Amino acid sequence: MRKRTPAALKLTRLTVAIAIILMPDVRGLYAAEYDAIPAAPRAMNNTDSYTLYLTLVVNGQPDDQIVPVQARGEHYQVEAGALTRNHVRVGGQTGLIDVTLLPEVKTRYDSMQQKLMLTVPDNWLPQQNISGENLLGFTPAQSSTGLLLNYDSYSLHSENGQSYTATWLEQRLFGTAGSLSNTGTWRSWWSGKSDDAADGYLRYDTLWKYNDEANMIAWQAGDVINNSLTWSNSTRLGGVRVARNFSVRPDLVTYPLINWSGNAALPGSVDLFINGYKASSSSINAGPFTLTNVPYINGAGEATVVTTDALGRQVSTSVPFYVSNQLLREGLSDFDLTAGALRQNYGIRSADYGDAAASGIWRYGLNNSFTLSLHAEGRPGLQLGGIGGDVAVGRWGTLSTAVSQSRTDDNGSQYVVGYSYYTSSFGLAMQHLQRSENYSDISTWDTSTQLSRQADQATLSFAPLGAGGGTVGLGYFDIRASDNSRTRLANLSWSRSLWGSSSLYLALNKTLGEQGYNAQVQVIVPLDSGASLSTGVQRSTSGDYSERINFNRSAPVSGGLGWNLAYANGNSDYYQADASWKFSQATLSGGVYGESNNNSQWADLSGSVIWMDNALFATNKVNDAFILVSTDGYPDVPVTFENQLTGKTDDRGHLLIPWVSAWYPSKVAIDPLDLPLDASLPQIESRVAVREGSGTLVKFPVTTVRSASLTLLDGQRQPLPVGTPVTETHSGQTTMVGYGGKVWLSGLAASNEIVVKRPQGSCRHGFKIDAPGKTSPLFATFVCPDNSSAEKQP
């Protein structure tokens, strides 16, 4: 049966047919549309304004923000705030500013990179100071609370009948409030004691000290020693002391630095070479800059500054310089104020104090070329004051001068003048000191000790044949004592490198006005094992010669064996043999020395006992500061100090590092590979600075976590595809399947559930983990069938 056509469809066909008949030539219509070139779009009128969103670039330095720019022809308007933020001077204008009308501003629109390029004068851009202040970086020093006992016990037995044991002791309590220490010696004579020999305990110093890092000030109370200038003397007092302490800031440079200024047309880099060696490299922006980032030099030299812009163009400039570490940089001050009772018979009596006395010094950098020095001190019957200065003589060294006056029953005066000049291969230093007969200070007045009347000294070092030809040293010393006796010394030395690290040293010493001279020739040869061999010949003033040979090896800082063997052949044979063993708890050493018919045997035991972190530790002697590493009770964890393996933690998870330098930031790290798999560490290294005379506890917190290593398979027992998402429902953590169907989860609970999402549907599995340290981590395999959904409970 034939299907009938609907009436609506017949009507539609009829309508289309009539429309085609009534239309003009269809071919002509389409030909006109595709054969004719369309009219060009209307050009935008120069008076039309439109908004562009561009990056401002000023002298090659792009802004970090996209700013709207109103464009009208060749004119561009930018908000005043965006311009001033990029150092474009707008003359106090606000709102939209036409940058093409600003004086001294060049404008270019880069349509390809959507940037508005502006060029302004260099003096509009901010000054850049490239400083070396933080080459080390400032790390605030730490101190934990603890107690330390240092000891050094020395025993001697001589064939002349003398035998004794002397033990030096230090007790030190330290914490955030500073350190309190006491030092002394206990001496016991076993035989051969002379009438004037001391026996029993002798105290040396008792001192509390605290350092204020923020202000670089040291506070001390007890047995103190005042600081001194090059033209004054230090004195021991029992009292108080307040002084500047620059050592708490090893990142701070106190003397004037190299100062070189320049202009960079475009952003780039600046490299500094000192005497041909690259010293620093820094990035710079366009504009003026000042370079002062090479502090660790002294003396004369040549600096070469190489600037490289963004286009790779380089400009090299060489300038000579002279840096003197005798000066204080402009605005920096140094001071010392000490008051108390003068210490008498130090090293003979434990507590012998005399008259009250006070001392003070102050130094100030008036500018980078002149440092002013003031000094005053006094005691009953004596007052002293002085003034001095250190001056940089351009590039030709440093001139120092000072004058001081003492007032007693008979007044006295002192003046000092000195000059120094150093380069990498040349050094010259001279000083003349003159005192009147009645000049005195608090260290010598009313005592048997007298200051010299006059002292002249001059030293010279140079390399006449270049660096490979060795260094020659000359010295002259002329001292006139208070009784007008005169001593004049002259010396000549020459040293140079030989093969490898070996060296040759020659020296000649002569007391002018007397017969004879001293001379010495020595060759030192370091060996691969850390030992060294030296041999030489020495001549005495009487004309006797002796040959010497020495073979030694210092005990490693981290522990081990050291030894020293020496022999000298002269009028009588002299020999020496000793050995030392440095282990983690102490250092033991001993030996014998002397002539064949008169020798002495000795033994020494030194170390420290420390109480900290509720534990007692025995270690090598702590001279400065120490670090105690804690791994929360985990033993046998390797510890490194400044990237050098120091040892492993003990049964309580501790390791003590006794050779730390105070104030300097040090890197301490542990190797977690030997920790259990269920151990988690938030950090494995720390950079820490320790206060002087203190110790600090560096904790590496170790927590135990429940973990699971799962293998996920499909219905055919094949690993699930890499990247399949897996979620642990209780903790909410989500991860993905790795190669071989492996999944690692940590931070789990006793009961856990995972959901595996696959295209075929989700899969659930539950599992349990025992407490950490037992069966954790869990190793398990789960199968996710290929059907739509599957669940399994533990």
**Confidence band of 326 (pLDDT split at 50, 70, 90):** very high
Among 307-311, 352-356, 439-443, 584-588, which is the least confidently predicted range?
307-311
Check which CATH number belongs to the domain holding 89 and give it. 3.10.20.410
The mean pLDDT of 555-579, rounded to a whole number, is 89
Q: What are phi and psi of 633, to 5 degrees?
A: 90, 0
pLDDT score of 787: 65
pLDDT score of 772: 59
Contacts 24+ apart (CB under 8 A), 715-723: 715/783, 715/784, 715/785, 715/786, 715/787, 716/786, 717/783, 720/756, 720/758, 720/784
pLDDT score of 137: 65
pLDDT score of 45: 54
Q: Is it the case that residue 24 has pLDDT exceeding 70?
A: no
Distance of alpha carbon 384 from its chain centroid, rounded?
40
Quote the CA–CA distance of 751 and 778 in Å, as a whole number. Answer: 12
Q: Is it the case that residue 9 has pLDDT exceeding 50?
A: no
pLDDT in tens, 239-266: 999 999 999 998 888 988 777 777 777 7
Residue 224 lies in a domain: no
Q: Is it the case that residue 713 has pLDDT exceeding 60?
A: yes
Residue 308 lies in a domain: yes
Those residues with Cβ within 8 angstroms of residue 400's Cβ, 6 or more apart along the chain or in another chain = 230, 326, 388, 389, 390, 391, 416, 417, 418, 419, 420, 431
Residue 636 Ramachandran class (φ > 0 left, ψ -120 to 50 alpha, else beta): left
**Confidence band of 741 (pLDDT split at 50, 70, 90):** very high
pLDDT score of 28: 40
* DSSP calls for 432-460: EEEE-TT---TTTTTSS----SEEEEEEE
Highest mean pLDDT among 26-35, 188-197, 644-653: 644-653
Q: How would you classify the pairing of strands 625-630 and 695-699?
A: parallel
Neighbours of 457 (CB within 10 A): 16
**Confidence band of 542 (pLDDT split at 50, 70, 90):** confident
Share of the chain above pLDDT 90, in %: 50
Quote the CA–CA distance of 469 and 458 in Å, as a whole number. Answer: 23
Q: Which of 274, 298, 323 is the last residue of a domain?
A: 323
pLDDT in tens, 43-93: 455 557 888 888 888 888 888 889 999 888 888 998 888 898 888 888 888
Residue 82 lies in a domain: yes
In order of 676, 709, 737, 775, the CA distances from 705 in angstroms are: 10, 13, 21, 11
Residue-wise over 631-644: b if at least 16 C-beta within 10 A, else e?
Answer: bbebeebbbbbeee
Q: What are phi and psi of 8, to 5 degrees?
A: -65, -40
Q: Which of 302, 323, 344 is the last residue of a domain?
A: 323
**Does 676 or 390 have the greater pLDDT score?**
390
Q: Is it the case that residue 127 has pLDDT exceeding 90?
A: no
Q: How would you classify the pairing of strands 382-392 and 260-264?
A: unpaired
pLDDT score of 46: 53
Residue 716 lies in a domain: yes
The mean pLDDT of 560-567, rounded to a whole number, is 93
Q: Are 284 and 307 in contact (CB under 8 A)?
A: yes
**Confidence band of 30 (pLDDT split at 50, 70, 90):** very low
Closest to 135 (Cα-Cα) out of 296, 251, 297, 258: 251
Q: Which of 125, 153, 168 is the last residue of a domain?
A: 125
Q: Is it the case that residue 517 has pLDDT exceeding 70?
A: yes
Q: Are 562 and 577 in contact (CB under 8 A)?
A: no
Residue 714 lies in a domain: yes
Those residues with Cβ within 8 angstroms of residue 266's Cβ, 6 or more apart along the chain or in another chain = 59, 60, 286, 309, 310, 311
Helix (H) or strand (E) holding 597, with range, is none
Distance of alpha carbon 52 from its chain centroid, rounded?
49
pLDDT score of 491: 96
Q: Are 295 and 135 in contact (CB under 8 A)?
A: yes
Residue 291 lies in a domain: yes
Residue 183 lies in a domain: no
Closest to 125 (Cα-Cα) out of 293, 306, 266, 258: 266
Residue 84 lies in a domain: yes
Three-state SS sequence of 14-38: HHHHHHHHHCCCHHHHHHHHHHCCC
**Confidence band of 373 (pLDDT split at 50, 70, 90):** very high
The mean pLDDT of 401-429, rounded to a whole number, is 93
**Confidence band of 353 (pLDDT split at 50, 70, 90):** very high
**Confidence band of 309 (pLDDT split at 50, 70, 90):** confident
Quote the CA–CA distance of 182 and 203 in Å, as a whole number. Answer: 8
The mean pLDDT of 281-306, rounded to a whole number, is 78
Average of per-residue pLDDT values in the chain = 86
Q: Is it the case that residue 564 has pLDDT exceeding 50?
A: yes
* DSSP calls for 400-420: EEEEEEEESSS-EEEEEEEEE
pLDDT in tens, 217-237: 999 999 999 999 999 999 999
> Per the structure block, which two tokens stand in for 731?
């903790």
The mean pLDDT of 489-498, rounded to a whole number, is 93
In order of 320, 613, 648, the CA distances from 651 in angstroms are: 59, 14, 10
pLDDT score of 447: 76
Check which CATH number belongs to the domain holding 311 and give it. 2.60.40.3110
Among 269-283, 397-411, 638-652, 680-694, which is the least confidently predicted range?
269-283
Check which CATH number belongs to the domain holding 730 and give it. 2.60.40.2070
The mean pLDDT of 500-517, rounded to a whole number, is 90
Q: Is it the case that residue 26 has pLDDT exceeding 50?
A: no
> Per the structure block, which two tokens stand in for 766?
């539950």
pLDDT score of 31: 39
In order of 223, 242, 377, 432, the CA distances from 443 in angstroms are: 15, 19, 10, 21
Closest to 404 (Cα-Cα) out of 353, 367, 370, 359: 359
**Confidence band of 136 (pLDDT split at 50, 70, 90):** low
Q: Is it the case that residue 758 has pLDDT exceeding 80?
A: yes
- The SS3 of residue 728 is strand
Quote the CA–CA distance of 326 and 391 in Å, as a whole number. Answer: 9
Q: Are 16 and 22 in contact (CB under 8 A)?
A: no
**Does 101 or 43 have the greater pLDDT score?**
101
611, burial (CB in 10 Å: exposed 0-12, middle 13-18, buried 19+): middle
Closest to 620 (Cα-Cα) out of 530, 556, 669: 556
pLDDT score of 65: 86
pLDDT score of 320: 85
The mean pLDDT of 316-329, rounded to a whole number, is 88
**Confidence band of 444 (pLDDT split at 50, 70, 90):** confident
Three-state SS sequence of 353-399: EEEEEEEEEEEEEEECCEEEEEEEEEECCEEEEEEEEEEECCCCCEE
pLDDT score of 369: 93
Helix (H) or strand (E) holding 297, with range, is none
| Total count of domains within the chain | 3
Quote the CA–CA distance of 508 and 408 in Å, as a whole number. Answer: 43
The mean pLDDT of 189-203, rounded to a whole number, is 82
Share of the chain above pLDDT 70, in %: 91
Q: Is it the case that residue 788 has pLDDT exceeding 60?
A: no
In order of 407, 438, 444, the CA distances from 382 in angstroms are: 6, 11, 11
| H helix intervals, 582-695 | none
Q: Is it the case that residue 42 has pLDDT exceeding 60?
A: no
The mean pLDDT of 469-492, rounded to a whole number, is 92
Q: Which domain holds residue 777?
A: 706-792
